[in-house]
Chain A
Amino acid sequence: AQKVTQAQTEISVVEKEDVTLDCVYETRDTTYYLFWYKQPPSGELVFLIRRNSFDEQNEISGRYSWNFQKSTSSFNFTITASQVVDSAVYFCALSGVYQTGANNLFFGTGTRLTVIP
C-alpha cells in the first residue's frame, strides 16, 4: 500500500525564518515518484517538484530545497527566508509505478504554513 505522512498539521513562522516541512512515505513499489504541491487560499494545487526513486540528489530552486533520503523514506521540503506569499497548505504526494499506477497520486494530509509579517 502507498502512504504519505505529514506529521506537521500547522506551522507558523515569522517572515525571513527558515522552515522545513516533513514528509515520510511508505511504498512497496521499487520505482516510484515523489511530489510536492502548494495549495494557496485560491484552492488550485501548484506543482513544485517531482523526484523519482532512483534520484536521491538534493535539489535547490531559489529559496526552495528538497532533501530526499531513501534510507529513512523521507522527502523533506525547506523554505529559506520565508515570505508572506509562502503561506499556503503544502502537500507531499507519492505515486507507485507498478502497484497502483503512475498517475494515481497518494497525498499526505498537508501542512498549513502561515508566515507572519
Chain B
Amino acid sequence: KAGVTQTPRYLIKTRGQQVTLSCSPISGHRSVSWYQQTPGQGLQFLFEYFSETQRNKGNFPGRFSGRQFSNSRSEMNVSTLELGDSALYLCASSLDRSYEQYFGPGTRLTVT
C-alpha cells in the first residue's frame, strides 16, 4: 500500500507571498491532519479534515487554511507568508479518530 505523499518536497517563497501544499493520504484513510515542525516550537497541530470538513483546529492564525477533497486528498494554504512560517509541514492520515496517524515525508518551506 502506498504511503502518504506530499508535494512539493521543497519550496522557497518570499515574504508576503502565498503557498499551497498538497497531501495524498493512504488509500482508504479519510482523516488528514497537518502539523508544523520548527526547531523552536517543535511539532504543532494545525488542523484536521474528515469527509471534506474541518473537524479540529490548532492555535494558528487565520492565514493558515486548508481543505479536503472528495477523494480525501488535502491541501493547506498559507497566505501572506512571514519569515516565521519557515518550517517542515507534515501531513498525516488515519482511518478515523484515535487511530494511529501515518505521516508523509513533509514539505520543507523556506520563506526569505
Binding site for B on A (CB under 8 A): 33, 35, 37, 42-47, 50, 52, 91, 93, 95, 97, 100-110
28 cross-chain CB contacts under 8 A: A37-B103, A43-B88, A43-B105, A43-B106, A44-B104, A45-B92, A50-B99, A50-B100, A52-B98, A91-B43, A93-B43, A97-B97, A97-B98, A100-B56, A101-B56, A101-B97, A102-B98, A103-B33, A103-B48, A103-B55, A103-B94, A103-B97, A103-B101, A104-B33, A105-B45, A105-B101, A107-B44, A109-B42
Rank and list the top 5 A-B pairs by shortest CB-CB distance, nearest first: A101-B56, A102-B97, A45-B103, A107-B43, A102-B98
CA of A117 to CA of B91, assembled, Å: 33
Please name all residues of chain B whose beta carbon is closer than 8 Å to the beta carbon of A101 when the two chains form the complex.
48, 55-56, 97
- Give the contacts of B56-112 with A (CB-CB under 8 A): 56, 58, 88, 90, 92, 94, 97-106, 108
Please name all residues of chain A whose beta carbon is closer than 8 Å to the beta carbon of B105 when the two chains form the complex.
42-44
**Once the chains bind, are A103 and B43 in contact (CB under 8 Å)?**
no
CA of A109 to CA of B41, assembled, Å: 8
- Report the minimal beta-carbon distance from A20 to chain B, rounded to whole angstroms: 21
- Report the minimal beta-carbon distance from B89 to chain A, rounded to whole angstroms: 11
Please name all residues of chain A whose beta carbon is closer than 8 Å to the beta carbon of B44 when the two chains form the complex.
107
Of all chain B residues, the one with the shortest Cβ separation from A103 is B48
- Report the minimal beta-carbon distance from A7 to chain B, rounded to whole angstroms: 14
Size category, B interface: 20 to 34
Binding site for A on B (CB under 8 A): 31, 33, 35, 42-45, 48, 55-56, 58, 88, 90, 92, 94, 97-106, 108
Please name all residues of chain A whose beta carbon is closer than 8 Å to the beta carbon of B94 when the two chains form the complex.
103
**Once the chains bind, are B31 and A103 in contact (CB under 8 Å)?**
yes
Please name all residues of chain A whose beta carbon is closer than 8 Å to the beta carbon of B58 when the two chains form the complex.
104
Most buried by A among B90, B92, B98: B98
Given A101-B48, A105-B33, output 6 extra A-B contacts at Cβ < 8 Å. A44-B106, A45-B90, A47-B102, A50-B100, A103-B33, A104-B45
Please name all residues of chain B whose beta carbon is closer than 8 Å to the beta carbon of A106 when the two chains form the complex.
45
CA of A105 to CA of B101, assembled, Å: 9
